[in-house]
């Protein structure tokens, strides 16, 4: 029997250094959240995340563009896997069905309302993205 888990993350457009998040709106506030979904029996975290994004945005995601950030045990969701999808070309046309999706500059994220956990996950994601970029640049220069 497989333990349930949660997989979530965001899209990252490297040329503009923007990420795509969803905006949840209630009667009292608007809050930014990552794309995410609970697990199903026998599926892996990458597949869950990929299917969630494809369903939410109406686009096809290449599995090779999904990059891990980290995983941890969440108080509410249990095992939680965080990913980002690297978009190197033009920003894809987004057809958000259930929630508003918005491209946001990483440098301006502090101005937006989101949970502390989401903010933390994005901060770690930004560090991983920066590390991956610097590593690829060092490899090119060698």
Nearest to 61 by CA among 34, 86, 96, 24: 86
What would the pLDDT profile of 79-117 be if each residue is shown by its tens digit? 999 999 999 887 766 665 556 888 899 889 889 999 999
Total number of domains in the chain = 1
Range of the domain at 62: 5-141
Residues 6+ apart with CB under 8 A from 22: 32, 33, 34, 35, 56, 96, 99, 100, 101, 102
Mean pLDDT for the chain overall? 87
What would the pLDDT profile of 55-64 be if each residue is shown by its tens digit? 888 888 999 9
What would the pLDDT profile of 16-39 be if each residue is shown by its tens digit? 999 999 988 877 888 999 999 998
Pairing of strands 5-13, 18-25: antiparallel
Write out the DSSP string of 37-53.
EE--TT--HHHHHHHHH
- CATH number, residue 49: 3.90.79.10
> For residue 95, what pLDDT is reported?
60
Nearest to 121 by CA among 41, 5, 23, 10: 10
């Amino acid at each position: 029997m497989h333990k349930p888990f949660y997989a979530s993350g965001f899209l990252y457009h490297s040329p503009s250094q923007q990420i795509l998040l969803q905006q949840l709106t209630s009667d009292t506030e608007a809050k930014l959240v990552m794309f995410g979904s609970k697990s199903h029996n026998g599926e892996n975290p990458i597949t869950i995340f990929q299917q969630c994004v494809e369903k939410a945005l109406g686009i096809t995601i290449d599995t090779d563009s999904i990059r891990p950030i980290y995983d941890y045990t969440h108080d509410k969701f249990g095992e939680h896997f965080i990913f980002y999808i690297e978009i190197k070309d033009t920003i894809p046309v987004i057809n958000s069905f259930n929630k508003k999706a918005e491209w946001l500059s990483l440098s301006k994220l502090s101005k937006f309302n989101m949970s502390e956990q989401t903010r933390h996950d994005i901060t770690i994601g930004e560090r991983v993205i920066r590390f991956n970029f610097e590593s690829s640049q060092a490899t090119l220069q060698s």
